[in-house]
Amino acid sequence: MNKPFKLSSITSIAQIQHGMRRYPTLYMLPNGDWLVPCHWEADTHFARRMFLRSTDHGQTWRDEDAPVPRENGLIALRNGEVLAFDNYPMLKQDDEYIVGASWSKDGGRSFGPMELATIHAPDAEPWSLQEMMSCCWTTAPEDWTPIFEAAGHRNWRANFSERIRKIMIGGPPPSRAALEREDGSIVALNWYHPKGQKRVPGLFVLESRDRGRSWRQIALVVSGDGLSEPSLAQLDNGDLLALNRTGGPLLQARSSDGGFTWSKPQPVRFAEEFKMRDTTPYFSHLVQRMRQDGAEKFACGVAPDMIRMSDGTLVCVYGRPGFHMMYDLTGTGEHWRHGLSFDEIEFDLCRRNGSPCCDFGSTGYMGVQEVAPGELAVVYDLQNWTESRGKPRMRWTIRCARLTRR
């Protein structure tokens, strides 16, 4: 079967030799700007994120501070408002959490100061700051001081060893896996640890009826494989389709009632197998392992980002190992086909350009948007990458690929 998408161009939109630009996502804002949130610190708890913004349809880019310390997702509404949410809700009392949030009233051109949104999530199991710090590298959480204090932990730095046992963090923040219903309410998905599940992540479904100021849990979907890093699209028939990361194949679930009930998650199986290439040594061991997990029959990877195009086609990007795009021309989520492997394209470009560094790596995190009817933009990161012979090796590069429908 001929591939329905043709690669038009690939450009570097951020390159850095010292520091980091990684874990990118992509948004088309109501005001027409393109926005790429990304990490500028190591992958630790309380690592912060920033924005890359283009006001000329991806031709040039500039760095910009994010309105919340660690942006977890943007939600654009039909009236042009854009909501930005932080990644770390704090338990305030009972099952009530607060999370940093910011609102844009001008289509995403600018964001207001950080405020607080509330989340009621009775099935979430929070954990203490001490537990977080003991299980993973943690950046100093100074930028979250206003949220700590609003949760009742004033002067939290004093008697630090005692305070970190009492600061409870958790609950699912609203994420980019969100959409506005016809009645103006918002449904958003995110993963977190449900009570009694031994830290196996589940899919929390949240609802807001006041334009993101307050949220309540309306559903919880669990699977033995765990569900995390969801993406969400609305199909032609009105159903909601959620794609989720697991330890193996991506799992998808459906809702026909606006997110209140969901089908049993099922693995995403390709309509026909594809052959994964061994490209860089960085990816080779992962490719071998993923082949054993069936990655040539099933979509396997991290952080799926799914959109529904203007013609109804579903497109999803995901990575690790490599970075891939799959599509469903029927728009039903029942006939996924593998489309492109951008790591193979980059590897071949390196070889043709005489680059001395073809052993590049990547986080595998990606973003996709339809930037014009039938035209896609896809972003991903590269580590220790050199564009061509004679060019310096970049510790981190964010690339933007443009594709068109044939």
Q: Which CATH class is domain 5-405?
A: mainly beta
Q: What is the pLDDT of residue 274?
A: 80
pLDDT along the chain (406 residues), means of 10: 88 94 98 98 94 98 98 97 98 96 98 98 95 86 94 89 91 97 97 91 97 98 93 97 93 98 96 76 65 76 96 96 93 96 88 72 95 98 84 90 95
Q: Residue 172 contacts by C-beta under 8 Å, 6 or more apart in sequence?
A: 89, 119, 121, 124, 190, 191, 192, 204, 206, 217
> Does residue 321 have a cis peptide bond before it, meaning omega lies within 30 degrees of 0?
yes
Q: What is the pLDDT of residue 285?
A: 61
Q: Residue 338 contacts by C-beta under 8 Å, 6 or more apart in sequence?
A: 270, 274, 299, 324, 325, 326
Strand extents, DSSP E, 87-156:
90-93, 96-104, 115-120, 127-128
Q: What is the pLDDT of residue 111?
A: 98
Q: What is the pLDDT of residue 178?
A: 98
**Sign of the four-CA dihedral 270, 290, 26, 244:** positive
H/E run at residue 384: strand 375-385
3-state class of 161 per DSSP?
helix
Rounded CA gap, 35 and 208, in Å?
24
In terms of C-beta density within 10 A (0-12 exposed, 13-18 middle, 19 or more buried), how is residue 133 classed?
Answer: middle
Q: What is the pLDDT of residue 213?
A: 98
Which tokens in the block code for residue 306? 């799914």
**Sign of the four-CA dihedral 337, 340, 344, 348:** positive
- With beta carbons less than 8 A apart as the criterion, state whether 104 and 112 touch: yes
Rounded CA gap, 353 and 163, in Å?
55
Vertex 183 angle, CA 181 and 186, to 5°? 40
pTM of the predicted structure, to 2 decimals? 0.95
Q: What is the pLDDT of residue 283?
A: 65
DSSP, res 261: S
Q: What is the pLDDT of residue 322?
A: 83
Classify strands 115-120 and 214-221 as parallel, antiparallel or unpaired: parallel
In terms of C-beta density within 10 A (0-12 exposed, 13-18 middle, 19 or more buried), how is residue 2 classed?
Answer: exposed
Give phi and psi for 99, each to the nearest 5: -145, 145
- With beta carbons less than 8 A apart as the criterion, state whether 35 and 75 touch: no
3-state class of 5 per DSSP?
strand
